[in-house]
Structure 1
Amino acid sequence: MSDIHHIGYVVEGDLRDALPGFIMALDTGPFFLIEHLRFDETTYRGAPAEYDHSSAFAATASGMLVEVSQVHSASPPELRDLLGRPGFGHVGWLADDLEDETARLRARGLEPFHTGRTGPADAVWFDARATLGHHVEVLRSAPPLLGFYESVRAAGAEWDGVTDPIRTRG
């Protein structure tokens, strides 16, 4: 396993409205908002699925990334039930070999329930609620993804705590 790369929260209401509370509580920012992330390929328990969400990313002073998400829609409804629970949602890490990491986690009793792929982002979600109380997301390490995360960390290191706290990304 790689080090935990990010922690993720889910909000029930509007993501933009929720972010100031995260900025204050976690003393972190700015958040980079990506609205209506739709995957090119999505599965739920191996069958085709749909998942539309918005996520905002910021880095803490230690460099840990924080992801705050709003689920707009997910199908089948069981996928929404799993991904749309408000509160602490998941921990995530990067893997150079996503297939090997998936096999490793399966061998430890975690079952994947959701996959999503779009552009350089390729992720597998595991249901770890029985042991950890939350999900685990493993992302395939890819240069464009690493570049985005590094830009979030750099912005956080330079942020004055006030200017432009929510920044929209494509």
Structure 2
Amino acid sequence: MVKTPDQIAYFVPDIREAAAQHAATFGSGPFYVAEHIRFSSCLYRGQPSDWDHSSSFGQWGDVMIEFMQQNKPGPSSLHDVFPEGSNRYGVHHMAYIIDDAPSHAAELAGKGIETILHGVLTNGIEVIHVDTRARYGHLIELCTRSKALSEVYDFIREQSVGWGGSDPVRTIEL
């Protein structure tokens, strides 16, 4: 996997506020908020998880920006990077769209890089978080290329073309 990231994701206390500030400061966007993102399956450190988080997605040049917030307390890949109660925020992961995320995660595991989260959203989008904190200070997210994932990325990118800055924070269903 030799490519530039498709997405930079930040853990923030308020995804709407972070999106509005990023749009105002850098001209990115518009941002689309997905509340309580639902999984058909989610394993955190190999155990079933009901991870409840919300995200806002916007385009910043060639890269998608994601702001993430956790909606209820408990262990998660967000709290692995930014411990619960620490009031620390920042870059959580860089995401890459690849053909086979599970195979690549297995290859990385053979190199000592642990899988923290493996989830499939209800729309079929598959995401894997691998632990690269010791090397880079953040996680890597591997996303399996799919029609559903392409539709989300294409929609966000298309909405940014010619966007004049109005209505910078909107909603979306995933």
Structure 1 length as normaliser, TM-score? 0.89
What residue is the counterpart of 2:90 in the other structure? 87
Aligned residues between the structures: 166
Query: 2:141, 2:76 → 1: CA distance?
Result: 17
CA offset at residue 18 of structure 1? 2.5
Q: Runs of 5+ in structure 1 lacking a partner?
A: none
Query: 2:76, 2:152 → 1: CA distance?
Result: 30
Query: Which residue among 139, 150, 154 is the counterpart of 2:154?
Result: 150
Q: Runs of 5+ in structure 2 lacking a partner?
A: 83-87
What residue is the counterpart of 1:123 in the other structure? 127
What residue is the counterpart of 2:4 in the other structure? 3
Query: 1:141, 1:74 → 2: CA distance?
Result: 31
C-alpha RMSD of matched pairs (Å)? 1.7
The change in CA–CA distance for 1:107 and 1:66 in structure 2 (over 3 A counts) is same
What residue is the counterpart of 1:159 in the other structure? 163
Structure 2 length as normaliser, TM-score? 0.87
Query: 1:103, 1:16 → 2: CA distance?
Result: 35
CA offset at residue 109 of structure 1? 2.2
CA offset at residue 151 of structure 1? 1.2
The ranges of structure 1 where at least 4 consecutive aligned residues each deviate by more than 3 angstroms after the TM superposition are none
Query: 1:114, 1:99 → 2: CA distance?
Result: 11
- Summarize the alignment of residues 133-144 of structure 1 with structure 2, pairs less than 5 Å apart: 133-144=137-148
CA offset at residue 26 of structure 1? 3.0
CA offset at residue 99 of structure 1? 2.2
What residue is the counterpart of 1:71 in the other structure? 70
Q: Deviations over 1:94-138 (max 9, x none)?
A: 121122211222233211011111222111101111000001110
Q: Does 1:46 find its partner at 2:50?
A: no
Residue identity matched to 1:126: V
- Give the % identical residues: 31
Query: 1:9, 1:67 → 2: CA distance?
Result: 6
